[in-house]
Structure 1
Amino acid sequence: MYFYRNAGIEAVKIPGIVKTPCYIPGDAIDPKSPNHEWNAVRLRGASGWHLIDLTWAAGHIDRKSGDFRSDFNPHFLFTNPRDFAREHLPVEPKWQLLYKPLTLKAFKSDLLLRPGYF
């Protein structure tokens, strides 16, 4: 856990599995082999933790060229935990921030909805 005292921010790095744009429901997923990391943050004066993925919020990799494309997407900042869980499954279920965490089976069968859906 990191604490940025002057900024009043606590941050936790969360390893887990993400569904890539080519994911098809039911594809094999190995929960013991995380393929991404994101964060949970708690701000001074705010209640609870919030999920953020600064990597996905910053842009994406162009499929044709393989180059990074800067394309700010606020969907991945302070995202509703249920919406976040459609694409991100943390190794530790508590970091889903859901009352009833998703199982691996439920995560695998859930449709991949892109940010434009929300």
Structure 2
Amino acid sequence: MTYRVVVTATAKQNLRSAYLWAAQRAPLTAAAWLERFAVHLELLANFPERGQLAPENNLVEEEIRQSIFGRRQGAYRALYTIVGDEVRVLHIRRAARDWATADDLRSE
């Protein structure tokens, strides 16, 4: 089964903020990073269960999974839930940051 990947407005804003921060330092690298991240998210359409349960899973009723993109200090976590035939990306954050809150994970 192929799922539809839906990136919420919050997650889009998270991604935009990360891109803008990186683009100030290295515009070409930031653009390539953004393209690779978009491909990474689209892979969830075929394999949404590949992401492990996120540490935030117990904060909300829905099952929250995470998909890690990048390495070491540059890694990001895409926090998402699977609802029917959709993969909803709820929040994107640096892996080194504190865990997300329940408010961060509210579906739109």
Shared topology, TM-score over 0.5? no
Task: Using structure 2 for the length normalisation, give the TM-score.
Answer: 0.25
- Larger C-alpha radius of gyration, 1 or 2? 1
Query: Normalised by the size of structure 1, how large is the TM-score?
Result: 0.24
* Bigger helix share: 2
Higher RCO (C-alpha under 8 Å, 6+ residues apart): 2
